[in-house]
Copies of this chain bind each other. A is one copy, B any other.
Amino acid sequence: MKENVEKDDVVVLIDCNFKKYIIDISGKTDKIKGVGVLNPTILVGKEYGRKIEIGNKQFWLLTPSLQDKLQSMQRRAQIILPRDASQIIMFCSIETGHYVLEAGTGSGSLTIALASSVAPKGKIISYDIRKDFIEHALKNLKKAGLNQYVITKNKDVIKEIDEKELDAVILDISNPWKAIKNAWNALKTGGYFCSYSPLISQVEKTVNELRSQPFIEIGTFENIQREMIVSDFGTRPSFDMLGHTGYLTFARKILQI
């Protein structure tokens, strides 16, 4: 592993509030909040793991991890949070080498997490009906260095899915139940379906449609995450808490019920 920044590296700067900036040393100058425009070449030679000062602000300098990539990306659409992305990947048994379809692409947050899971030999095929979302997501994917594992399509999964024998189909669209037939056709036998929906009515329609098709292991889960605060006074759950993200519905393709 490199100990010092070289001229072709991509690095992450983390400020004292854990706000993160991914910087391509060989790239253009970048704007950093509270600092202004940064010429990346000034970082060459700095030691990874050290605190550096840029314009009165202090940053830790590291090689970007998957979490850094996810936390520094620019969001346009509402994103699927890492807590849910990780459950999707695990419960859909997504592994290196898999082919996974995702729709919609959105800001590309789930895409990044999925691409990291199937790399280096697998691929994510990401559909979105909005071209601007795809373009925005591609920028995030490039910045994360994961674009080579993603094929984007400006198409509607409800109308058509081109692929076959997919390991998983993941839907974050407003009417996932309408894409279930297409998903079944696109999946390999034993492949996983997942939909992410904030509303109960979406869950109900999706589950009922899944039950009318050859799927097994149909289930819906909600993940609630609580942070614990450890201080000199004692330990307690955080007062701040996100009350809801979305419901995850899973199912698995078979040939007959």
Contact = CB atoms under 8 A, between A and B. Distances in A.
Given A89-B90, A254-B62, A223 B224 contact: yes
Which of A96, A116, A243 neighbours the largest number of chain B CB atoms within 10 Å of its CB? A243
Contacts of A223: 83, 223-225
A243 B240 contact: yes
A236 B244 contact: yes
A145 B47 CA distance: 40
A222 interface: yes
Stoichiometry, copies per complex: 4
Contact of A199 (B190, B219, B221, B235): B235
Q: Most B CB atoms within 10 A — which of A95, A198, A236?
A: A236
A252 B235 CA distance: 21
Interface in A48-66: 48-51, 60, 62-63, 65-66
A18 B217 contact: yes
A33 to B, nearest CB: 19
Contacts of A103: none
Question: Range of interface residues on chain A?
Answer: 35 or more
Provide the main secondary structure of the chain A interface: mixed
Nearest to A16: B216
Contact of A247 (B47, B228, B255): B228
- Among all A-B residue pairs, the 7 with the closest Cβ atoms: A241-B243, A199-B234, A86-B90, A49-B255, A65-B93, A49-B189, A201-B234
Interface of A: 1, 3, 14, 18, 47-51, 60, 62-63, 65-68, 82-83, 85-87, 89-91, 93, 95-97, 113, 116-117, 119-120, 165, 188-190, 192, 198-204, 207-208, 214, 216-217, 219-228, 230, 233-244, 247, 252-256
